[in-house]
Structure 1
Amino acid sequence: MEKHNGGCYCGAVRFQITGLPLWSGHCHCRSCQQALGGAFVTWAKVAAKDFDVTKGVIKTIRKTPGIARGFCGDCGTTLTYSAETEVAGQDWSADAWFAAATLDDPSIVEPKAHVFVSHQQPWIKLADGLPASEEF
């Protein structure tokens, strides 16, 4: 099975995924906007068993109840997202979510949808033809 590497801006944290992401999408929720400082973030997921931190430690912040956002404690790069409770009726504990752009080769990710477009900024115009959901 192929392996793909990624990590933070400064190189203090590195990770490896086994295989290709199982799903990916662009999240426009206000929480992601504030946490990442952008209009949206592209998340990807693999099975939790297929995500390994190979260097450093991912620090977490839990501002939203039940949500842990992982980042590099040195440079602040957002790396991971995990839900400790069900999201949209799904148990996410078997998945590892990571910011797609933190892969060394983010072109392996193929986003499938836009989610939380109810929070989409008015200056973002979607023209990629992907499905868009008001929530997740």
Structure 2
Amino acid sequence: MEILKGGCYCGAIRYEITGPPRWSGHCHCRSCQLALGGAFVTWSKVAAADFTITSGSLKQIEKTLGIRRGFCGDCGTTLTYAADSEMAGQDWSADAWFAATTLDDPSVVEPKAHVFVSHQQPWIKLADQLPRFEEF
């Protein structure tokens, strides 16, 4: 089994995932824009059992009820996203979502779609042919 590693900017938090991400996509929602300070973020997911924090511990913020973002308390890097409820027909508690670019080698990620393009900033011009969804 392939083990992929990643972590935060300062190195205080490290994680491992077993195997490649099962899905990845670019999220343009306003919440992600504010939380990560960018026009969009690329999230990836693996089965929750395949994601392990190997050093350090995440701080979490729950600005929206039932949605937690995990980040490094030292450098502020956002690493994870978790939702308690079922959304878009998926049981999100079965998955571990992580910011794809926090992998040591983010080139293994293959985004499949753009989501929440209803929140996309007007100065972002998408040139790829990935599917686009108004919401998730």
TM tier, shorter chain? over 0.9
Structure-2 residue corresponding to 1:19: 19
What letter matches 1:8 in structure 2? C
Is 1:72 paired with 2:72? yes
Q: What is the deviation of 1:89?
A: 2.8
How high is the sequence identity, in percent, across the aligned residues? 79
Moved over 4 A (4+): none
Structure-1 residue corresponding to 2:34: 34
Paired residues, what number? 136
CA distance in 2, matches of 1:56, 1:134: 36
Is 1:60 paired with 2:60? yes
Instruction: Give the CA RMSD over aligned residues.
Output: 0.5
What letter matches 2:6 in structure 1? G
Tell me, what secondary structure is at the counterpart of 1:70? Answer: strand
CA distance in 2, matches of 1:17, 1:8: 15
CA distance in 1, matches of 2:85, 2:7: 26
Q: What is the deviation of 1:65?
A: 1.2
Q: What is the deviation of 1:87?
A: 1.5
Tell me, what secondary structure is at the counterpart of 1:124? Answer: coil
Q: Structure 1: state its 5+ residue gaps.
A: none
What letter matches 1:20 in structure 2? P
